[in-house]
Amino acid sequence: MTDTISPHGADALKPLFVADEQQRAKLVSQVNSMPSVLVSSATAANAVMLGGGYFTPLSGYMNKADALSVADSMTTSSGLFWPTPVLNLLDAELVKDLNAGDQIALKDPNVEGHPVLAVQQIDAIEKLEASELESIALQVYGTADREHPGVAEFLAQGNMVVSGSVQVLNYSYFETEFPDTFRTATQIRQEIAQNGWGKVVAFQTRNPMHRAHEELCRMAMERLGADGLVIHMLLGKLKPGDIPAPVRDASIRKMIELYFPANSALVTGYGFDMLYAGPREALLHAVFRQNMGATHFIIGRDHAGVGDYYEPFEAQEIFEKIPADALKIEMFMADHTAYSKKLDKVVMMREAPDHTKDDFVLLSGTAVREMLGNGIAPPEEFSRPEVAKILMDYYQSL
**Is position 46 annotated as part of the catalytic site?**
no
Mean pLDDT throughout 47-67? Answer: 98
CA nearest neighbour of 35 among 110, 111, 121: 121
Whether the pLDDT of residue 239 is over 80: the answer is no
Whether the pLDDT of residue 159 is over 50: the answer is yes
What pTM was estimated for this model as a whole?
0.95
Beta carbons of 263 and 197 less than 8 angstroms apart: no
**Is position 32 annotated as part of the catalytic site?**
no
Q: What is the model's pLDDT at position 23? A: 97
List the domains of the chain with CATH numbers. 21-175 (3.10.400.10), 181-397 (3.40.50.620)
Q: What is the model's pLDDT at position 175? A: 94
Sign of the dihedral defined by the CA atoms of residues 178, 254, 302, 152, in that order: negative
Q: Of 159, 207, 218, 369, which one is the catalytic site residue?
A: 207
pLDDT digits (tens, 9 = 90+) for 108-128: 999 999 999 999 999 999 999
Beta carbons of 198 and 1 less than 8 angstroms apart: yes
The rounded distance, in Å, linking the Cα atoms of 388 and 171 is 31
pLDDT digits (tens, 9 = 90+) for 352-377: 999 999 999 988 878 888 899 899 99
The rounded distance, in Å, linking the Cα atoms of 76 and 66 is 5
Q: Of 24, 206, 218, 253, which one is the catalytic site residue?
A: 206
Whether the pLDDT of residue 237 is over 90: the answer is no
Q: By 3-state DSSP, what share of the chain in percent is helix, strand and coil, each rounded to 5? A: 40, 20, 45
Mean pLDDT throughout 219-226? Answer: 97
Q: What is the model's pLDDT at position 363? A: 84
The rounded distance, in Å, linking the Cα atoms of 181 and 171 is 13
Mean pLDDT throughout 158-185? Answer: 97
Q: What is the mean pLDDT of the chain?
A: 95
Length of the chain: 398
The rounded distance, in Å, linking the Cα atoms of 12 and 48 is 18
DSSP characters over 144-172:
--TTSHHHHHHHTS-SEEEEEEEEE---T
The rounded distance, in Å, linking the Cα atoms of 29 and 195 is 39
The C-alpha angle with vertex 8 and arms to 312 and 76, in degrees rounded to 5, equals 80
Whether the pLDDT of residue 3 is over 80: the answer is no
Whether the pLDDT of residue 397 is over 50: the answer is yes
Whether the pLDDT of residue 1 is over 70: the answer is no
